[in-house]
Amino acid sequence: MYYKFSGFTQKLTGSAPATAYNPQGLRSGLPAESPTMIFATPTKVVSEAGATAEYMGANKVPDLQKVFQTSDGIPVHLKRGYPDRLLYRTTMALTIGGVAYCLVALYIAAQPNRK
């Protein structure tokens, strides 16, 4: 644990090694120790935060971040599962079908008028 003097609270508070108060400089030879994280207030879960924070619905971003950050090797456009696959396959079917239809239409348009 490293400490520094906080000008705000006028007390010693925890700090990162780089910003700690070290009148003698950092002592070499001591193993580097990561500081314990100190939270000012306990982290609030959205449901505890009260009605004002839920104006027009609750915050689903943390849940979605969990879903989209799972390392399963699935590319981002299919990460949400079935609805993504359905939309992707519809788009791909239209792409392939559209190219075929387009080539046929252009081929017909290129034929001389036989009237």
* Chain length of the chain: 115
**109 in contact with other proteins (CB under 8 A):** yes
Closest CB 39 distance from other proteins, rounded Å: 18
**99 in contact with other proteins (CB under 8 A):** yes
With respect to other proteins, which residue has the nearer C-beta, 5 or 77? Answer: 77
Token digits of residue 48: 């505890």
In the list 30, 37, 45, 61, the residue contacting other proteins (rule: CB under 8 A) is 61
Closest CB 20 distance from other proteins, rounded Å: 26
From residue 56, give the alpha-carbon distance in Å to each of 46, 47, 53, 62.
13, 14, 9, 17
